[in-house]
Structure 1
Amino acid sequence: MNRLLKATLFFAAIFISQLTIAQTAQYPLVKGYGGIYEVPDAIERPDPSLDYKIIVDMSTGASDPKQISRWVDNVARMMNLHGLAGVKKEQMHVKVVIHGGAIFTVLNNEEYQSRYQVDNPNLPVYQALKDAGVEFLVCGQSMHARNLKKENISPLIGIAHSALTTITTYVPQGYTLLKF
């Protein structure tokens, strides 16, 4: 075999091996959102034998109201990362309490349209998260401060007395607090 053919075969083998290493995003628990990737070299992973109790304190708003909030998508990523490690949906007990600037991500389409002239891009993500077992609570105090009524909020979202009392209710029950 001549040198040119050997070199061509060598580089073709490297190219093909690189294609097999490349990954596409995975969505094990939240379908279509929060895409994540396998990390074969990871030495720390979620334990698939545990139940996870997580409360997410989401107060950061979207940087662009025409795009899915990275913080809403991050909840999907968190769910999918656990799922990729073998944690089942039934082992994930996740509550998201929404307040501050993040409150606008839970507006229904009519209210969102009136403010941003576009359908709320976060609602499909919230639906996929709800389908995966996540519960959402919007802070009633934040709603009051922004003159929002129940009819302005997506029916996917429950209303809490406050973010503060929701967090102080669930943390003593063993929920891990994450801040987004």
Structure 2
Amino acid sequence: MKTFIAFCSLLSIAASASAQEWINPVIKDYGKIKFYKNAELVPDKNTEYKMVFDLTLDSQGDSINKGLNKIARAINLLGASGVPKEKMYLVGIIHSNTTSVILSNEAHRKRTGKDNPNMDLLKVLTENGVKFYVCGQSLAHRGIDIAEMNPYIDLSLSAMTSLTYFQYRGYALMP
């Protein structure tokens, strides 16, 4: 029995030692992933990846928006698999409860008393080729003026028409 327990303990330690570490290979500090070199199905580095993210989830307090972090995770997964940035076409359509991520630090401070916690991630994502659009209808419903937008966001007429526009152009919808 002691031999069996010792064997199980050793097996457990070995399994822990071989566990993959969390990494951020492309977008540092955001979108951490575990990369498995022995995975059967991985992104093909010769394929163009066109994704449109439907961003509707609100940030939690002072933390970054989960949808933005999801985009960072997608870039990290693709990058870790050897997909070059030139083959990544990612777009974020911001609407509904996510609309506040578009606020500049000044506008965010006026509304909440704090800087926009998403500014650094938005900057890094746009530097990595991600394009962001905010739904004009959501701005109107939330009383946000386009002058309050940060420089990483462009205006679209609506999320409804923008999501359709990108899907018709071959972008996979990422809810």
Residue equivalent to 1:53? 50
Tell me how far 1:18 sits from its aligned partner.
6.6
Is structure 2 residue 131 aligned with structure 1 residue 135?
A: yes
Amino acid at match of 1:174: G
Tell me how far 1:150 sits from its aligned partner.
1.3
Distance (Å, rounded) in 2 between the aligned partners of 1:171 and 1:33: 26
Is structure 2 residue 169 aligned with structure 1 residue 173?
A: yes
Residue equivalent to 1:122? 118
Question: Larger C-alpha radius of gyration, 1 or 2?
Answer: 1
Amino acid at match of 2:52: I
Residue equivalent to 2:158? 162
Tell me how far 1:43 sits from its aligned partner.
1.4
Tell me how far 1:29 sits from its aligned partner.
2.7
Tell me how far 1:27 sits from its aligned partner.
2.3
Tell me how far 1:40 sits from its aligned partner.
3.3
Residue equivalent to 2:29? 32
Distance (Å, rounded) in 2 between the aligned partners of 1:117 and 1:154: 17
Residue equivalent to 1:104? 100
Aligned partner (choices 77, 98, 116) of residue 81 of structure 1: 77
Specify every segment of 5 or more residues in structure 2 that has no aligned partner in the other structure, as ranges.
Answer: 1-5
Is structure 2 residue 145 aligned with structure 1 residue 149?
A: yes
How many percent of aligned residue pairs carry the same amino acid? 33
Q: 3-state SS of the aligned residue for 2:34?
A: coil
Answer whether contact 1:171 1:177 (CA < 8 A) is retained: yes
Distance (Å, rounded) in 1 between the aligned partners of 2:122 and 2:22: 19
Answer whether contact 1:29 1:89 (CA < 8 A) is retained: no
Amino acid at match of 1:76: A
Specify every segment of 5 or more residues in structure 1 that has no aligned partner in the other structure, as ranges.
Answer: 1-6
Tell me how far 1:38 sits from its aligned partner.
1.2
Answer whether contact 1:65 1:116 (CA < 8 A) is retained: no
Residue equivalent to 1:3? none
Distance (Å, rounded) in 2 between the aligned partners of 1:67 and 1:54: 24
Tell me how far 1:26 sits from its aligned partner.
2.3
CA RMSD across the alignment: 2.1
Amino acid at match of 1:125: L
TM-score, L = length of structure 2: 0.86
TM-score, L = length of structure 1: 0.84
Is structure 2 residue 74 aligned with structure 1 residue 95?
A: no
Answer whether contact 2:57 2:66 (CA < 8 A) is retained: no
Distance (Å, rounded) in 2 between the aligned partners of 1:31 and 1:128: 9
